[in-house]
Amino acid sequence: FKSRDIERRSLDVDGLKRSFLEWLVYSVGKDARAATRRDWFHTVALAVRDRVVDRWMDTTRSYYHEDAKRVYYLSLEFLIGRLLTNSLSNLGIVDECRQALDRLGLSMEDVVDAEPDAALGNGGLGRLAACFLDSMASQGLPGYGYGIRYEFGLFEQRFENGWQVEYPEQWLQFGNPWEFARPEVLYPVQFYGRVEEFRDSVGERAYRWVDADRVLAMAYDTPVVGFGGETINTLRLWSARATRDFNFGHFNDGAYMKAVEQKILSENLSRVLYPNDATETGKELRLKQEYFFTSASLQDILRRYLQHHTTFENLPNKAAIQLNDTHPAIGIAELMRLLVDQHALRWDDAWEITRATFAYTNHTLLPEALEAWPVRMIERVLPRHMQIIYEINAKFLNRTKAKAAGDNARLSRLSLIDERGERRVRMGNLAFLGSHKVNGVSALHTDLMKQTVFADFHEEFPDRINNKTNGITPRRWLKQANPALSELITTRIGEGWISDLSQIAALREKADDVVFREEFRRAKRKNKKRLAAYIARQTGEEVLVDSIFDVQVKRMHEYKRQLLNVLHTIALYNEMRDNPTVSWVPVTKVFAGKAAPSYHMAKLIIKLINDVAKVVNHDPSVHDNLKVVLLPNYNVTAAEIIIPAADLSEQISTAGMEASGTGNMKLALNGALTIGTLDGANVEIREHVGADNIFIFGMTADEVNDLRASGGFNPREVIASNPSLKRALDMISTGAFSPDDRNRYHPIVQALTDGGDHFLVTADFADYCRAQDAAMQLYRDPEEWTRKAILNTANMGWFSSDRTVNEYAGEIWDVHPVKPSHDG
């Protein structure tokens, strides 16, 4: 027993190898001859998990013994991607594992590639949550992630005839070696029913929620390995389980099967992630998902708190709950319900505790993304919560200044209920009111929050809104994804940058070192070869490694303006055809991203990119100087291959519309130069990397605002005055890229012309082309390009999510690192 015990912890090559063989036989149930790559992945993951478990329990025990204040990050999305390389790297045993596999005749890459990508998120918001988990664990902060264990993650995207087609993402199909099922951690969550009023023991009016349907939330825990392996935190995801209680009426009716069917249906709650990024559909199942995981998480948080406390006044000193957008905002009403109805607190005390415990992060200002649930729906699904929301609203509106001033318009804007049309609950207002701090995710976005959606609330509560500019984890996005560059960096400045990215500033002086530049280019070239091979495998297209890799990877959305990039591509194609004797800088346009399945315009843009690629890539008159590729199924795993290989990073949203962006940070950290608008965090990236080392173009957020306020502009005039834009648009509209269906792109052309060009694509086109030309000219001078690329990497230290999380910890959560004791 003792020796096996040691075996499970051993971090050397021999110990790992013996563990692998043991796990393969006794847990996977195969011998080495019969094992598939997937069997080996499961084997290695289980052996690595062994190396984590003791430290995980130590960490949890230390938090418990110190009764440390914890932070709970409530998020409907965690876009974590693969975990094997991440765990090995944070444990510091990548090489040992590679050697152990080598001795077994296996390739580490093959084993790593057998892991499915955990895509429990749509895009930026979900990935941010995953970066925060890594940063909290890496800094010893007592942070828990709470979310849903979706059986199906974000859909798998394939292209069929150039169109996006969605397939279910069955990431759990072959089991998940990282998670621990906790069948004993089970909480009831109710829906529907009605509210009964009664008199409590002291004769006060009280309420209970009765005749409700019940579902159980069952916990699955995944260890979150911090860098260095000191702290191992927990990501707890809830899965819906049917209750065992039966409706006896059904038995008597002989409807046993019907009763069982109802139970089975209740498990649909955790079946699938909604694939909408920034469009709210108002579906009842979605509301139920939000309440399901929020209620289970709050019950769990209170249970943990009550291990050390008997009253609730200390809850805000022991728990900080961060709402990742409004998706868990119903938690404010739920905590009130738990405190008032179940624990008999007085309303005002409960409200004070609730507000001191919650904080809310806003991730978008797009009106179509702001959650507003119909009152009728909440009344039906969560009747007691609707009452509580009314009560919160009444008390708030009664004491606002607007009331005194008789400013009814302002009162109705502050109200939790939107009374225009069908009455709806504004979840953003609820989240704001129920939180002690509300933050935006970049300096510009936070300013715009104060000026737009939350202007009235900001006036009412001037200290509540604050900024926390997003960040990214340097472990996954530099160390793991870009071994070539990270090894080079470490040879020059040591490895302190991995846990303190500000140290990467030491590379600044290396920008003038001709030898370092050569090595930096060599690392980039290696990554570009890797991407070229990936492109060939995925699309069959051969691209020039020496071309500019011009990369736009993100969700497909009109505001992100992939169309602007496509129009430039077509204009460049025309120029190259018109001037075949000019020596062009070869360009490879790399696109990747998913469209929401119901977002027809975004899907049409995908088809357009594929159609343009087909024409351009097969036109011999451009001599391979231009290639266009749209990579399928963009996810964290694909990002790890694409981002380190990029030369140019496209961050070209209409100013004022991208809350922050985080892909912009990943690309710049990996030495890509940004071409972008002054939107989101691009503004701060420019400040850090220097205006000389970034290509900024286009209207500012203020200019966009003014233009729209003054009644917009006439895209027809802009188009008529720009021949290359006119020609590109004419080609699209006359079917040059869609000879099989010449009207296919009518909706796109329409939106850019008579539709008024809401996203100002035509308005920014000329300046975008100017910036693109400047980038192409600079690329002709490899030394100068590399110098700027190095300065990008060197100046991105501030954008570490360690810095972001520390700001949250100090200014919102008041949580502090805990050093786990590892001596039992």
Alpha helices in 67-176 (DSSP H): 84-91, 94-103, 108-113, 124-138
User: Running DSSP on this structure, what letter comes out for residue 622?
Assistant: G
User: Which CB atom, from 369 or from 601, has the smaller least distance to ligand 26W?
Assistant: 369
Active site residue 554: yes
Q: With contact defined as beta carbons under 8 Å apart, do 795 and 688 qualify?
A: yes
662, 670, 733, 795: which one binds ligand 26W (CB under 6 A) = 662
Q: Which stretch in 167-175, 407-415, 580-588, 654-662 sits in contact with ligand 26W by CB under 6 A?
A: 654-662
| Of 117, 179, 280, 611, the one binding ligand 26W by CB under 6 A | 280
For position 363 contacting ligand 26W by CB under 6 A, the verdict is: yes
Does the protein bind ligand 26W through residue 680 (CB under 6 A)? yes
Active-site residue identified among 98, 464, 560, 686: 560
Distance CA 95, CA 43 (A): 17
Report the distance separating Cα 567 and Cα 612, nearest Å: 10
Nearest approach in angstroms of CB 665 to ligand 26W is: 9
Q: Rounded to whole angstroms, what are the CA distances from 572 to 292, 568, 648, 760?
A: 51, 6, 16, 20
Of 191, 61, 32, 178, the closest CA to residue 117 belongs to 178
Interacting span for ligand 26W (CB under 6 A) from 116-124, 198-206, 219-227, 610-618: 116-124
Question: Between 587 and 602, whose beta carbon lies closer to ligand 26W?
Answer: 602
Strands 205-210 and 194-199: antiparallel
Phi, psi (5° rounding) for residue 599?
-95, 90
Contact 665, 470 (CB under 8 A): yes
Nearer to ligand 26W by C-beta: 660 or 762?
A: 660
The site that binds ligand 26W (CB under 6 A) totals a number of residues, namely 22
DSSP secondary structure letter of residue 472: B
**Which residue's C-beta sits nearest to ligand 26W?**
124
- Choose the binding region for ligand 26W from 309-317, 492-500, 530-538, 656-664 (rule: CB under 6 A): 656-664
Residue whose CB is less far from ligand 26W, 279 or 412: 279
Catalytic residue among 363, 468, 528, 787: 363
For 155, the 3-state DSSP assignment is coil
Determine which residue in the list 142, 644, 661, 671 makes contact with ligand 26W, applying CB under 6 A.
661
Query: Is residue 115 near ligand 26W by the rule CB under 6 A?
Result: no
**Spatial separation of the C-alpha atoms in residues 673 and 221, rounded to whole Å:** 39
528 is catalytic: no
Per-residue interface string for the shown chain with ligand 26W, residues 425-454, x marking contact by CB under 6 A: ----------------x-------------
Three-class DSSP labels, 627-672 = EEEEECCCCHHHHHHHHHHCCEEEECCCCCCCCCCCHHHHHHHCCC
Query: Between 365 and 394, how does the x/- string for binding to ligand 26W read (CB under 6 A)?
Result: ----x-------------------------
User: Which listed residue (24, 128, 338, 794) binds ligand 26W by CB under 6 A?
Assistant: 128
Which of 659, 673, 696, 731 binds ligand 26W (CB under 6 A)? It is 659
Catalytic-residue membership of 555: yes
Nearer to ligand 26W, 87 or 122 (CB): 122
Q: What angle do CA 195, 196, 201 make, to 5 degrees?
A: 130
| SS3 state at 253 | coil
* Span interacting with ligand 26W, options 87-95, 197-205, 273-281, 350-358, rule CB under 6 A: 273-281
Among residues 222, 276, 482, 762, the one that binds ligand 26W under rule CB under 6 A: 276
The answer to whether the CB of 520 falls within 8 A of the CB of 789 is yes
Active site residue 363: yes
Instruction: Read off the tokens for 556.
Output: 């497909």
The 8 Å CB, 24+ separation contacts for 507-515 are 507/790, 507/793, 507/794, 508/790, 508/791, 508/794, 508/795, 510/790, 510/794, 511/787, 511/788, 511/790, 511/791, 511/794, 512/787, 514/783
> Considering the rule CB under 6 A, would residue 325 count as an interface residue with ligand 26W?
yes
User: Would you tell me which residues interact with ligand 26W (CB under 6 A)?
Assistant: 122-125, 128, 274, 276-278, 280, 325, 363-364, 369, 441, 470, 658-662, 680
Catalytic residue list: 363, 554-555, 560, 662, 666
